[in-house]
Structure 1
């Protein structure tokens, strides 16, 4: 977790199409030199993530694969352990299991996100099963047959408790709060605190920061597409983080999202989501958000920002395009120049 090197670069590929087409996109990312591809999991929004990852594993040879992220609510821990083992067998040493509290998987089916206690217990179960150990299920004890290769577990986190827990127990952490320097520094401090409290070396924990990315020479023109993202962060506990960057957004705790399906951050109609979020997020706030929390700018500016993130202690970056139901070919191709100029990549 010590800083200095340019972080590895990963791309988010929502499984919004047939598994073979997701594999095509992953193979394209590999050819361009991306270090990782990360697939999100939400059973009503996208195709099954482990089915897509199977196709990706069979179509690629070098690029790292990961879930960003699956959950242990709609998926039983034993099911996750078996699925993770299955992908790791197809891509030895390349698969990372990213796990979170649920979010877009649980809400649309009327369930709640994991509490930290639930997440701790269920992740412990997954780890035990992947090691081939038995687990007590009340009336029976069971184990995973053929546990297979080791699977690093990365925890998606933004709040202080989960950040500390990631430092205590996970192999890596996926930071969900953007890349504003003050927020990153605070998040990294929490992860390090957790690692030290558990007697671990913080340098052993992989830190992946997630950020929306858009290559442009006119941030002021394009930043408005981020309004739903900014509004969602403000609504779910991020007002303080935004305020640290001089961004004032007053989003009500409750408002009718019925006009935007399924929610602002995963809207099927992004233009409508931008219009709705514009009630609370001004053009000026969107520009500040783009510059502080996201990777919006020219390829040269983005490359320079990557180096800055490495100096802060970030070991990997997960970039994503705006929108949930298309594949980011345009963004991948636009970042090709950054990848080509990085001497550490293929």
Structure 2
């Protein structure tokens, strides 16, 4: 990455929710205010194509780091990802990170399943092989063929997003960096970091040398109670996706059914957020939402958020990227608030 590694790097998650040229204005504003990175999610039915948007961002900025958070190996073949990543990296030398995950909102709307740990391991191996310029043996209905990527780009860091223990260990073992999806709760974060370090040590790597980036919902506010009610769908989704034990460690008891009706396409990416909040309120009351905001998210005044960010860095976190609530508008308010009050406090 292009910025100094000796301090906490603060990034912003920017969904490609509008034309690429308009999204670039958002990224450029983040760059102006001192954000270190902009991370773009990949979900082909929810947003514009992530690599098209990254291309525009690479051409429209000069310093800010860029990355996928995250693309996947289910809707995109590893060879396609390798070519797209190489193409972006050429336009933003030293500024691009390829973040990979299991799929989630990319796979569910088209009836596919999330990638398994074994598939993630093989996919990362294929990507690294191709980006290094080496041949890979592909096997398909047409038979077996050995191929390579012309004009490779070996320097692209491959980061793995993970929350479960198997993928956390895999990330520590084989990835160039880890995107932790556990939020900023000290208890759950410590457990996630331990699994990453287990994987790194098992592979003979220096565990502390694997950079850790934490994703966290953030809002600069002096009314946490009101803000917390808006993130009930996020808390409910974490519980529904196997995170109930992590929530319980923080005293949040939430039991969400496997099937949630009435929200499209899902609670976290709901097109009608007010409806999602109402539906999630059946399982997440105001007290639980407040506890979730205080424990797992970065909600509070600028000084409070800055203090928590400094604590994360002291615990070994290399970077964070902040998320706003909502999927179909750029995080302009969050960029302005953090840029004006939190980043200067750091």
TM superposition score normalised by structure 2: 0.96
Unaligned runs of 5+ in 1: none
C-alpha contact 2:67 2:96 (8 A) present in aligned 1: yes
- Tell me which of 322, 327, 342 is aligned to 1:319: 322
Aligned to 2:157: 152
1:153-196: per-residue Cα shift (whole Å, max 9, x none)? 00000000000000000011001111100000000011011101
Question: How many equivalent pairs are there?
Answer: 337
Give the CA RMSD over aligned residues.
1.1
* Alpha-carbon separation, structure 2, partners of 1:224 and 1:262: 20
- Tell me which of 164, 172, 190 is aligned to 2:177: 172
* Alpha-carbon separation, structure 1, partners of 2:118 and 2:317: 27
Aligned to 1:307: 310
* Alpha-carbon separation, structure 1, partners of 2:227 and 2:26: 25
RCO higher in structure (CA 8 A, sep ≥6): 1
Asked if 1:224 is matched to 2:229, the reply is: yes
* Alpha-carbon separation, structure 2, partners of 1:143 and 1:149: 13
1:109-129: per-residue Cα shift (whole Å, max 9, x none)? 000111111111111001100
Aligned to 2:126: 125
Aligned to 1:11: 12
* Alpha-carbon separation, structure 1, partners of 2:24 and 2:10: 18
Structure 1 residue 5 displacement after superposition: 5.9
Large movers: runs of 4+ above 6 Å: none
Question: How has the CA–CA distance of structure 1 residues 256 and 288 changed in structure 2, closer, same or farther, with 3 Å as cutoff?
Answer: closer
Structure 1 residue 149 displacement after superposition: 5.0
* Alpha-carbon separation, structure 2, partners of 1:184 and 1:6: 19
- SS of the equivalent of 1:46 reads coil
TM superposition score normalised by structure 1: 0.96
* Alpha-carbon separation, structure 1, partners of 2:13 and 2:123: 25
* Alpha-carbon separation, structure 2, partners of 1:94 and 1:298: 31
Which residues in structure 2 correspond to 1:155-304 (within 5 Å)? Answer: 155-252=160-257, 254-257=258-261, 259-304=262-307
